[in-house]
Amino acid sequence: MALAAGLPGVLISLVLLWSGDHSPKVRWTLTVLMLLVWSGVAFSLRQHVVFPLQTLSNLLAGLREGDSSIRARGADSTDPLGEVMLEANLLAQTLRDQRLDALEATALLRKVMLEIDVAVFAFDADERLRLVNRAGERLLGEPQPRLLNAPASELRLAGCLRDDTPPVVEMAFPGGSGRFEVRRSQFRQGGLPHHLLVLSDVSRSLRDEERQAWQRLMRVLGHEINNSLAPIKSIAGSLDQLLAREALPADWQSDARRGLTVIAARSEALARFTAAYARLAKLPRPRFAQIDIGTLVRRVVSLDARLPVAIEAAPDVTLDADADQLEQVVINLVRNAIDAALETAGGVHIAWKAGDGWLDLRVEDEGPGLPATANLFVPFFTTKPGGSGIGLALSRQIAEGHGGSLRLENRAQTRGCSAQLRLPLRHAESGVRS
């Protein structure tokens, strides 16, 4: 095409030259000169276009092979081809930086997978093992080369890949046995689906939590039982000594009656305590139905006339909940707020709002606030005289049974406490009512 660009002019010049009245020497000299200039300029133009394209081709080939260190010479923003090579150099630098970041991130991920004490397995669509970390090798009792490409059924992991597997299962492997938390996820590699399986041994953690729970429970039970048995034992000993006398005093019957009354009162208190514990331990499953939260709150507020409770204006909100259990939670929160507000002659107000599928109900008081929050939800722990210590623990258990949460904290801007109840508006099984 470069030769064709100058061909018309050369032909016309040659025709004029050879048809004119010129000597043969002039004709041949000018003919050779025109042909040399024509071919030289054409090949120079071709080289000026082809060389940058070859350079660019080599650069792209290097990028395709993963070599991002090649740079094109002659990158100049004043030339169109130079601008192309300049952009290619910038692209190569960007790819180099991204490749370096990816390599560093991959190296870090491999290091983390090797060091963490959690077994990680990756299976392909045929449930054959494609990746395992060091903890997985220890758990299965085999080195990685022997484990790769093994089917999940052979490794006793096929059940963990099923969707109906419980989150915590009891399993035995060559490298250990116990209760394992099972977490599954999906990812794609090479365009094909893969399964990621993570097994973490929670036996020790569960045992520690269970032991701590038993220790707390035994401290509370021992304290409450001793509070009742100590006076019973003392009065029973006094009555035994009284009746062992040969000559009974004149008022021995009244002393015996008072002693038996105290024994009966302490026995009744101990019976109430055990009944409260049984109520906490045997909370029934919630029976979900449509409930209007405004109607429920106004009904609860009307039950306690000791202090007027301010209800902030809010839109009507319905949710799936057990009416009896939810009412018990609101009663406990309102009663605690009123008890606290009466100590400082403060007020109590309730507000709620709905958003993103959740109901947030807030009960705030202007009382003295919470002295300590660590033991608020410990069963039978109470800071109120005559309190049972069961209300908050039962309320949180009901909230969690509904898929929600309950937390108490001191108000930041003013004195008092804020109880925040969060519940889902729709339950997962709301289509089937009990």
Q: What is the DSSP string of 356-420?
A: TTEEEEEEEE-SS--S-STTTTSTT--SSTT--S-HHHHHHHHHHHTT-EEEEEE-SSSSSEEEE
CATH superfamily of 289-424: Histidine kinase-like ATPase, C-terminal domain (3.30.565.10)
Confidence of residue 352 (pLDDT cuts 50, 70, 90): very high
Whose tokens are 């919470």? That residue is 370
Q: What integer pLDDT is reported at residue 382 of this predicted model? A: 56
Q: What integer pLDDT is reported at residue 348 of this predicted model? A: 92
Q: Could you tell me the CA-to-CA distances from 176 to 128, 142, 146, 202, 423 in Å, in that order?
A: 22, 12, 18, 12, 40
Q: Which of 305, 296, 419 is nearest to 365 (CA)?
A: 419
- Residue 430 pLDDT more than 50? no
What topology is assigned to 116-201 in CATH? Beta-Lactamase (3.30.450)
Q: List, for residues 354-383, the tens digit of each pLDDT value.
A: 988 899 999 999 888 877 655 566 555 555
Query: Helix, strand or coil for residue 181?
Result: strand
Higher pLDDT, 430 or 374: 374
